Amino acid sequence: MKLSARNVLEGTVKSIDHGAVNSEVILALPGGTEIVSVITRHSAEDLKLQTGSKAYAVIKASNVMIAVD
């Protein structure tokens, strides 16, 4: 797999919650951090995502905002 995105994080699928249109996927990273992504249900099924399987979070954003109180 080759991507232009610089932020590719490998993890394990912790859970998948399928809705009518979208699926919420929780990816557990080494060290305990979790990333939550909402993708189409079709994409989740096409990727054959299953709890416990290896997957990657690919983050490509032109802006990342930081906020404080």
Token pair recorded at residue 36: 């939550």
The pLDDT assigned to 61 comes to 77
Instruction: Quote the CA–CA distance of 38 and 43 in Å, as a whole number.
Output: 10
Instruction: Quote the CA–CA distance of 18 and 39 in Å, as a whole number.
Output: 10
Which domains, from first to last, does the chain contain?
7-59 (2.40.50.100)
The pLDDT assigned to 5 comes to 80
Ordered per-residue pLDDT tens for the chain, 69 residues: 788 888 899 999 999 999 999 999 999 999 999 999 999 999 999 999 999 999 999 988 777 777 888
SS3 42: helix
Long-range contact pairs involving 35-39 (C-beta distance under 8 Å, separation at least 24): 35/9, 35/11
- Cα 24 to its chain centre, rounded Å, is 9
The pLDDT assigned to 45 comes to 96
> To the nearest whole percent, how much of the chain has pLDDT over 70?
100
